[in-house]
Each structure stands twice: as C-alpha cells, then as structure tokens.
Chain A
C-alpha cells in the first residue's frame, strides 16, 4: 500500500507535472484564462493519461524498444480521436472552448513523458494509479490557476459573475504567463520550506541520538 501512496503523492505534489516539472505548458497557458475550460482540459487529460498508461504498460513486452515512441504516439492519438468525437457529441460547449488544444493533447509532454518514464517499467495497476495521480495534479493546478486568472480577468469564477472588476491583461496570454510563473514560484517556495522543516527535525533527532550515545 505504501508504494501506491508514494506514487500518488509524487504525482499530486512532489513531482507535480505542471508546477514542479513544468510539462504540458501550451494547454496550461492557453486555457487558464477561463476556469471551466481549464478544468475540462484537466479532466480530459486524466482520462486519456490513465488509459494510455494502462495500455502502454500492458503492451510493454510487445513494443520493440527502437520504435517505442511512434507506438506510444499511435496509442495516444487514437485515444485523443475518441475523446474528441465523444466531446463533440456530448459536451459541445467544452469542445468549442478547448478549440485547437484538444488535438494538441497528442503532443502533450505529460502523457508521452509518463509513458516513457513510468508506464513502460511498471505494472498495469501501478501505471493506472500513476496516471490518475498525475492527471489530477495537472487538473488541480490548472483549475486553481484558472480560478485566479478568470477572477482577475473578468470578475467571475466558472462563468458565474461575482463582482464588477476586470483587468484586461489577465484575459490574454500575458496574464496567463504571469499567473503561471508566480504559481510555480509560490509552489517551489512552499515545498522548499516544508523540506527544510523536515530536514531541521531530522538533524535535531540525529543530534539527540548522538548526544544520548555519548552520554551512555
């Protein structure tokens, strides 16, 4: 059970694909000016990432090492084609708001990166957990940044009007870049603080142990 906990925590926090590894930047910057499309993108990626991780990890013995990247691309492109058809049919609003970025999920570094770094070395179940954790890490980061960006840009959150307040810059990529950059900085700062605290605690324990030994 510990193994799955580590995979989940890594995907969500310590190796968060958006904020720690800075992967999949194009959809992030293009869509966080609206919280709804950011969350929709995130959830689409969760589904595609989980399925692609599972399929690739199930096929890892069949795929020859030399042509593995084209094979991964075929798997991912097929899943994206399905997702595109389903969204166009059942959620046309979301399909319109995602625009070109829906097709660009194929070349999203997060999905190819997880296939290359994780799914081709681990079991199907582990890969599925990893896909869900990384996808949710991506979704959470996108949604939080989307809420901030949409509020600053148009005074509404998830399309609900809150107050008459708008800074035009935040509705454009310029604002997305600033929000994304500052989010990375804040996240890194918090993680560093957390790890420093942990290290100080460990050092203190080690020193106490040493003192105890010397006293004995």
Chain B
C-alpha cells in the first residue's frame, strides 16, 4: 500500500511530467486552447502511455536483457509505440466511431510525443526513489505510467482553463500566442513546486 501511494503521489504531483520533467510540451502548448480538446488529448496520451509501458517493459526485461541487445532500446520502443498507436486507431475506429471522432484526431500526433517514449525509458531506468523499498515489476511500471498520464491530463486541464480566460484580455502583438502561454505555464510550474516538499 505504501508503495502504491508513493508511486501515485510521485507520478501525479512531485514528479509531474509537464511541470517538473518538461516532457510532452508540444501537445501541452498546442492543444490546450479549449478544455474539451485538452481533456481528449490528455485521455488519449494516458491510454497510450499505459499501453506502451505494458508492452515495452516485458519486451525489455524478458527479451532484450537476456539477449544482451539493450542498446537497441530506442529503435525497439519507437517501433512498438508507432505500431501500437496505429493499431489503437484502427480498433477505436471500428469499435466506437463516436469515440474516434472525439479522440481519434489526437492519436497520430501521439507517436511523436516525448511523454510516451519518455515514460517507457524512465521505467526501465532507476526507479528506486519512487518504490519505497519494493522490487520493480511490470505492475508498478504500468501504474507509474498510468498516473503520470493522469498528472499530464490534470495540468492540461488547468492550463486550458487559464487560456480560455486569457482570451478575454488584449495582449501586445509580440506577446500574443506562445509567449503568453509559456508565462502562464510558468505560473502553473511555480504552483506545482509546492508539492516537491512532500516527503514520502
């Protein structure tokens, strides 16, 4: 139980992907103009992160380590993620066309999202600081990926809410667009710095 809470808190708050690790900034800045699209993107990224970890972690531990081909991890992982995203797109299209209409447009963008490749690389590295003494296994890896995705979604929603409000104000021409968004993001980061004081 202690490990569960430690991983959830670390993934969502103290090591949030956007505000602390700065992974997945492209969708964070690009798709956060409206709350609806921010939620869609966040959920899509969360699902792909969890699924990708579910596939890459066993592949790394049970295939690549015994064969001593760890150095090929980047090529393997990017290929697994790309095919997984493609497959997920086809499945969703077939099973639920309405879900495809709301979420499907974000799926092709996710292949080149740092957050997905980032989490698959993170869980095969040194995770001892989050584990509270427990041994690393696939369950913790997928849990970490899932909650890291939820933390990503949380920050996306906060950001989109702030950007919707910011639309009502007039900004100088040079500051319009990305600069305003980044200064807003900076304040969110400062707010999230409070959580780094949590000691697990």
- Mark A residues whose CB is within 8 Å of B: 22-23, 25-26, 29-30, 69-70, 73-74, 77-78, 80-81, 84-85, 100, 103-104, 106-107, 109, 112, 169, 172-178, 180-182, 184-186, 188-189, 192
Classify the secondary structure of A's interface with B.
helix
State whether B122 touches A26 (Cβ < 8 A). no
User: Are B23 and A177 within 8 A (Cβ)?
Assistant: no
B23 close to A192 (CB less than 8 A): no
Most chain B Cβ neighbours within 10 Å, of A29, A69, A78, A80: A29
How near does chain A come to B141, taking the closest CB pair, in angstroms? Answer: 15
Q: A77-B74, A172-B189 are in contact. Are A104 and B174 (CB under 8 A)?
A: no
Q: Is the CB of A106 within 8 A of B78?
A: yes
- Cβ of B129 to closest chain A Cβ, rounded Å: 14
How would residues 71 to 113 of chain B score, 1 for a CB under 8 Å from any chain A CB and 0 otherwise? Answer: 1111100110010000000000000000000000000000111
Q: Residue on A with the closest CB to B82?
A: A70
B contacts, CB < 8 Å to A: 19-26, 29, 71-75, 78-79, 82, 111-114, 117-118, 121-122, 125, 173-175, 178-183, 185-187, 189-190, 193
Q: Which residues of A contact B22 (CB under 8 A)?
A: 26, 29-30, 173, 176
Query: Known: A106-B78, A192-B173. Is A173-B189 also a contact (CB below 8 A)?
Result: yes
Q: Which residues in A have their C-beta under 8 angstroms from that of B75?
A: 74, 77-78, 81
**CB neighbours of A70 from chain B (8 A):** 79, 82
Best-surrounded residue of A26, A109, A189 (most CB of chain B within 10 A): A26
Most buried by A among B22, B111, B125: B22
Bound Cα distance A189, B22 (Å): 26
Distance of B46 from chain A, by nearest CB (Å) = 17
Query: In whole angstroms, how far apart are the Cα atoms of A176 and B71 in the complex?
Result: 31
What are 28 A-B pairs at a CB distance below 8 A?
A22-B178, A23-B26, A25-B25, A25-B29, A70-B82, A73-B78, A74-B75, A77-B79, A80-B74, A81-B71, A85-B71, A100-B21, A100-B121, A103-B73, A103-B117, A104-B117, A104-B121, A173-B22, A177-B185, A177-B186, A178-B182, A178-B186, A181-B180, A181-B182, A181-B186, A182-B183, A185-B174, A192-B173
